[in-house]
């Protein structure tokens, strides 16, 4: 594989991720679009390698810090952007229950950090968001974990779809 082909693929997909994250300025897309943007890391993880995927994630994270809506940026940086890469490491574990437990711990830690940043650093009072009062953070954690498992299943299927349907065309276009 040519080094220029790898860099070209990473650059194009990084630009696509950034455009998707910029669309998060539209209402109600703040949480869905970081998840979609993270899915564009899959071709890099599968065809180019994890090292390039980490570099691509870092570049998009820095640019999103300056250009994108702040909540979307936090969720991209703290979870959706790097999860496809981490998922590839975690799924090398043979034991399914251990793999699932590590994924759950990863998701919970990322949510806790995102909750801390949005509440205490960005000044968004999450306790006043819903009718749950002091239980809002617990309700959000449960909802987040449910969304995480749906996202994990969706990523697994997207990886399969990419390998079966699109990998050949991407490799042909970028001379991989």
Domain boundaries, the chain: 3-173
pLDDT, residue 126, reads: 55
Which is more confidently placed, 126 or 14?
14
Give DSSP secondary structure letters for 56-81: HHHHHHHHHHHHS-HHHHHHIIIIIT
Q: What is the mean pLDDT of residues 85-91?
A: 95
- Specify the fold of 3-173: Arp2/3 complex 21 kDa subunit ARPC3 (1.10.1760)
**pLDDT band at residue 138 using 50, 70 and 90 as cut-offs:** confident
Helix axes 136-161, 32-39, angle to 10 degrees: 30
Helix axes 50-67, 83-90, angle to 10 degrees: 150
Instruction: Answer yes or no: are the C-beta atoms of 79 and 107 closer than 8 Å.
Output: yes
pLDDT, residue 122, reads: 65
Taking the complete model, does pTM exceed 0.95, yes or no? no
Q: Is the pLDDT reported for residue 132 higher than 80?
A: no
Count CB atoms within 10 A of the CB of residue 157. Answer: 10
């Amino acid at each position: 594989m040519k080094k220029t082909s790898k860099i070209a693929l990473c650059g194009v997909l990084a630009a696509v991720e950034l455009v998707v994250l910029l669309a998060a300025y539209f209402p109600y897309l703040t949480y869905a679009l970081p998840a979609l943007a993270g899915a564009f890391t899959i071709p890099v993880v599968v065809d180019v390698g994890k090292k390039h995927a980490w570099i691509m994630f870092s570049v998009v994270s820095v640019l999103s810090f300056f250009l994108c809506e702040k909540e979307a940026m936090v969720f991209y940086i703290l979870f959706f952007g790097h999860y496809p890469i981490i998922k590839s490491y975690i799924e090398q574990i043979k034991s399914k229950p251990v793999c699932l437990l590590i994924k759950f711990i990863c998701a919970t830690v990322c949510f806790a950090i995102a909750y801390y940043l949005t509440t205490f650093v960005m000044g968004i009072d999450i306790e006043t968001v819903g009718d749950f009062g002091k239980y809002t953070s617990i309700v959000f954690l449960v909802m987040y974990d449910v969304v995480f498992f749906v996202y994990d299943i969706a990523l697994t299927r997207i990886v399969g779809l990419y390998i079966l349907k699109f990998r050949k065309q991407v490799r042909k276009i970028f001379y991989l």
